[in-house]
Amino acid sequence: MSKLDEKRREALKALGALSAWAGGLAMAGCAQTSSLSSSQTSAPQVKWSTGTERTTLIMPPDATDCHHHIYDHRYPWAPEATLKPGDATVDDYRQLQKRIGTTRNVIVQPSSYGVDNRLLVESIARFDGRARGIAVVNTSVTQAELEALNRAGVRGIRFNLAPPGTTTLDMVKPLAARIAPMGWHVQVNAPAAYLLQARSTWYDLPCPVVFDHLAHVPEPEGVNHPSFQMVSELLTSGKAYVKLIGFYNETRVGPPTYADSVALASAYARVAPERVLWGSDWPHPTEQPLNRIPDDALLANLFAQVVPDEATRRRILVDTPASLYGFA
């Protein structure tokens, strides 16, 4: 082979490598992913999150994580607490924000603290106006206490209904009547069968209801389960929202694809994209005892599969949370 032929061969090899690289870059662009170098795509290890890769999904400005918790041993567990996770502080959560790219957040009072909302209020204040909260109260709460929570940035109350603990189904309507004039909403965490049994409650509330964890629709039934039909009807009627969180809760497929949960979330997003929310569910308290902590970057990237349209993602990540939680 002549030297000229060798040079041509090397040039063709280089051109082929360049074409492959460019093709991969184009595919990444089509998928709305970043083209950061490997040194830029890694992040420090985040507590209660596996992996160190940043998200390939590029979050829009003011993207909101609509569901996470804070735990701190400085505050005592409620007597009825069954979940007692390790500390997951504001500083820990800030590291997660750096990894997944969100800049607004909604802190949800966990069942572990019952109606003691002190840590919630303290945590909201540390985010300098970029956080809101969902509290837990019972019917003994005073109007002055509700108003104080409102000033602190709380915009709703959560009911963990199965098993019943601090809050019960018979508290939902009376408390909803009290918070509706404040522009708050009710958030519900319960199995799908329980939600179905209480369906008349969700239709009769004077304020919106937000269903946690994909409304816990069981798999493999998914969209064929009657609870999906009920929640979809509430979404399209403007009475409800659903959080696209906790893909690991009901999945039969599991990581890394969570294909069944992704299909369910996609169905909700098609039914009423203006009535769905997204969140991390960090620090994944239900998964800690099972030693199966998920990869938060992976879960965020799956959201791009659920909602491939960039404008719709912005609506879900920015516009709807701004309206529901009162972000300026």
For the chain, 328 residues long, the average pLDDT of each consecutive 10-residue run is 41 36 34 35 85 94 99 96 95 97 98 97 98 98 99 98 86 98 98 97 98 98 98 98 97 97 98 98 91 95 97 98 96
HSE (CB half, 13 Å, CA atoms) of 171?
19
Prediction pTM value: 0.86
Q: For residues 213 and 279, what is the distance between their CA atoms, to the nearest angstrom?
A: 9
Are residue 123 and residue 7 in the same domain, yes or no? no
Are residue 11 and residue 94 in the same domain, yes or no? no
- pLDDT recorded at residue 36: 32
Q: Using an 8 Å Cβ cutoff, are 304 and 32 in contact?
A: yes
Question: By three-state DSSP, how is residue 154 classified?
Answer: strand
Are residue 25 and residue 78 in the same domain, yes or no? no
Question: Is 260 considered catalytic here?
Answer: no
Are residue 142 and residue 197 in the same domain, yes or no? yes
Q: Where are the alpha helices (DSSP H) in 134-251?
A: 143-152, 172-179, 192-197, 199-204, 226-236
Are residue 207 and residue 64 in the same domain, yes or no? yes
- pLDDT recorded at residue 130: 98
Unique residue bearing structure tokens 């492959």 = 20
Are residue 255 and residue 289 in the same domain, yes or no? yes
Are residue 67 and residue 180 in the same domain, yes or no? yes
- pLDDT recorded at residue 163: 74
Catalytic residue among 65, 92, 260, 281: 281
- pLDDT recorded at residue 44: 79
Unique residue bearing structure tokens 């816990």 = 216
Torsion of the alpha carbons at 148, 285, 213 and 303, rounded to the nearest 10? 110
Are residue 168 and residue 25 in the same domain, yes or no? no
Q: Which two tokens stand for residue 200?
A: 């008349």
Are residue 21 and residue 44 in the same domain, yes or no? no
HSE (CB half, 13 Å, CA atoms) of 173?
8
Are residue 9 and residue 135 in the same domain, yes or no? no
A 10 A CB-CB count for 65 gives: 29
Number of domains in the chain: 2
Are residue 16 and residue 100 in the same domain, yes or no? no
Task: Tell me the CATH number at 246.
Answer: 3.20.20.140
Q: For residues 209 and 227, what is the distance between their CA atoms, to the nearest angstrom?
A: 15
Domain assignment of residue 2, given as a range: 1-30
Q: Does an H or E element contain 132, and which? A: strand 131-135
Are residue 137 and residue 43 in the same domain, yes or no? yes
